[in-house]
Every structure is written in C-alpha cells, then in structure tokens.
Amino acid sequence: MGDRRVTILLQSGELDKALSAFIFANGYAALGLDVTMWFMLFGYNCLKKRRGLWSLFRRKTDVARESAYRNLETDNVLQPMVELFNRGGARHLPLSQINLGGVGPALLGVMLRKKGIMGLDELIHSAADLGVKFKMCQICFDAMGISVEDLVVPDVEVSGVAEYARDTLNAQVNLFI
C-alpha cells in the first residue's frame, strides 16, 4: 500500500476503547500501512506495567533518559498519589459502560476468549510485532510523572503536540478514540 499512513490517538483509559484502538491498529498494520499510535491523558494506562505499590515511590534509575522529556525538578508528591489510584495495566482497565463494579472487564475477557478474539495484552504485542510505532504526549509524561521504564513496550517515543500535528497532516487516516 506504499507510503500510506494512519494515526490513532488513544485518550481514554477504558478497556473497550483501548481494544478498539488496537484492533484498528492491528488491522491497518496487517494491510501494510504505516501506523502510529499516540497516547495522551489516561490512554497510556493500557501500556503500563502493573507494579507493586512500593514502586510508586521509588527513584527512577535512568535519570538522563527521564530528564530528556520530563522536568524532574518540578516533580511533586501529587504524581505518585495519582498513580496510587491509577495504576493501570492492560488487565486492570475499567469498561466505559457496564463496568459492574470491576466485574465487567472480566466478563468481556471471557466472552472474547470463547470467541477466539485476542485480549488487550495480545493486541498490544501484536501491534508492536507488526511495526506499529508508539508515541506518547510529552506534557502528559511530565505532568503525570510517567517513566518509560513503566511501559510494556520498550520503544516509545515521547513527543509534543507539534509532532502529533505533523503525523496527522501526513496521514490518510486519523482516528481519535
């Protein structure tokens, strides 16, 4: 399909919306299109490693890499407090509808498995295997105190809104979820 490009921005931290974004990403990538997924606000939750509570307050090990996209001097106690209640992870996202006190995602998972449909973890790794590029909003990284060490995909690029705008202007398809 040549140099046809697709951008997908995932803003939501809800399972059903993340599933939709990754199903589209895998579909377009399987057709041979150049796919870039952007994550902002709580959209990054699906890519977070689920870690223990103690890790929320640990010092980041690669300060040089962290300071390339975050102003570490302005980090504050509010960031780990937000993470305490927003620990994320592909297997811990709520549904936007019919969450049923947290049981809804498990029920959806059972329904997907019975139909042979990949879950979010599998879709994320499939997208990475198909060459989907992952980019995250620099402002969100800095404001939320996110670390690339906390993500399940190793090659995440952190960029600003101008880069997102450039990507969308060069894309034939742009999805905002």
What percentage of the chain exceeds 70 in pLDDT?
75
Residue 9 lies in a domain: yes
Cβ burial, residue 127 (10 Å; 0-12/13-18/19+): buried
pTM for the model stands at 0.80
Residue 36 lies in a domain: yes
Residue 100 lies in a domain: no
The residue type at 74? T
Average pLDDT, the chain: 81
Mean of the pLDDT values across residues 57-78?
65
Residue 83 lies in a domain: yes
Q: Between vectors from CA 114 to CA 116 and to CA 110, what angle results, nearest 5°?
A: 115
Domain that holds residue 148: 5-91+120-176
Q: Is 86:42 a contact under the CB 8 Å cutoff?
A: yes
Residue 98 lies in a domain: no
Given this model, what pLDDT does residue 74 score?
73
Mean of the pLDDT values across residues 159-174?
93
Does pLDDT of 144 surpass 60?
yes
pLDDT digits (tens, 9 = 90+) for 1-41: 558 999 999 988 888 899 999 999 999 999 999 999 999 88
Q: What is the total count of domains within the chain?
A: 1
List the beta bridge partners of residue 173. 6
CATH number for the domain that contains residue 154: 3.40.1260.10
Residue 103 lies in a domain: no
Residue 102 lies in a domain: no
SS3 content of the chain, % helix, strand, coil (to 5): 50, 15, 35
pLDDT digits (tens, 9 = 90+) for 93-106: 767 777 777 777 77
